[in-house]
Amino acid sequence: MNLMEEYKSKLVSADKAVKVIKSGDWIDYGEFCGQVRDLDRALAKRKDELKDVKIWSTVNPYPTAVNAVDPTGESFVWHSWHMSGADRAIAKTGKPVYYSPIKYSELPRYIRERIEPLDVAMIQVTPMNRHGFFNFGPQCSFTRAVCDRAKVVIVEVNQEQPRCLGGYEEAIHISEVDYIVEGSNQPLAIVPSPPATNVDKKVAELILDEISDGCCIQLGIGGMPNAIGMAIAESDLKDLGCHTEMLVDAYVYMHEAGKMTGKYKGIDPGKMVYTFALGTQILYDFIDDNPKCATYPVNYTNKPSVAAMNDQLITINNAIEVDLYGQVNSESSGTRHISGTGGQLDYVLAGWESRGGKSFICMPSANIGKNNEIKTRIVSTLTPGGIVTDPRSVADYIVTEYGKYAMKGMSVWQRAEGLINIAHPSVRDDLVKAAEAQGIWRKSHKIQ
């Protein structure tokens, strides 16, 4: 049987493909912009036939039909490796969204060795090439692991998916696929970064002072890291490299400005290395069939010892709050879950391990309410229920619009002083009082 004959023999409608799913099954919906759309709608039609179908998702970028038709979760139980705005919207309706804590670089191993066996994997892919391969598009973090673990693999072909070159584990052969569904070719999720604020620009200025020619740049998820990337694109820096988990629009601008030569990278010289991409069409067009870019599974991009093979690795991520001990919470507001650990811990570790490298956690000093109410993001202790994303023994530079403080090697009283000095001025006296009560304040302390 030749490739096209095999293709036609496996080609079915979305409605027929989802008939393989049974009550009680564990299934995977694909990650990021590779989450299935037509198969989701087809599965939602079976709501009254099914019970307790457990679904894995990752940074769900789309409204999901299975959740819309099943607000109580009796038929479809939604799980996430990293929650998104769409997931938070589901949770607000009262339907549980069950988060699974991860260290992102370890996730392929969790899937291959630890989670419940996957009955069905459903993933979006590019059209098959002449060699019989379907490319995973800009999301190969652990897709290969999902396909390896699943009893049945269904691919939803989307002509809008960019073909992302590897690397490795970026594609699946037709011989490994059970069913092929030709989807409705919907565009990928557009995730623009908000315009940079004055706070973003000040933080970018502070971090730019720490970056030199030849550094390798990692940007985490969020508006502030992306704003820093845009500032780099407009700077005089040169010969920078890219080794990151998430590729965002800012990297395109850095490349087009001539900053991203990658000539001094310790591994993958000249290549812009990533494991997933989220942004606008500018980004998706840039990575499509582009040999400048290389997509790898996350156990390569995020493994600290691998990332740290690039000298002068600069890692830039954001946070929700940091306490006076240096504990960083980047994923919850108290017990209300917002996002996830993602790869932040991986890259905080990698930044320190890299020769000449640095890791930065950046955030506004405070949230300003409608009536100019100040809610500090440097706190005496983490909000009860708040998650420690980066332990105090691991986190290093903390940056707000009021300055930056490097915590490695510092005692608890030195940390308290350093962090209070970059807190919002209106809350510093209160933080001093809290530090005194906690026994981490000395009378010789100085507050600027």
Q: Which residues are catalytic?
A: 245
Contact 126, 162 (CB under 8 A): yes
Measured over the CA atoms of residue 227, residue 233, residue 237 and residue 243, the dihedral's sign is positive
358 token code pair: 């640095």
Q: Give dist(CA 94, CA 301) in Å, integer.
A: 36
Confirm if 184 and 156 have CB atoms less than 8 A apart: no
Distances (CA, A) of 152 to 26, 40, 220: 11, 16, 33
Q: Are 345 and 309 in contact (CB under 8 A)?
A: no
- Cβ of 408: how many Cβ atoms within 10 Å? 13
Q: How far apart are CA 187 and CA 107, in angstroms?
A: 27
Report the SS3 class of residue 117. Answer: coil
Buried b (16+ CB within 10 A) or exposed e, 245-269: bbbbbbbbbbbeeebbebebbbebe
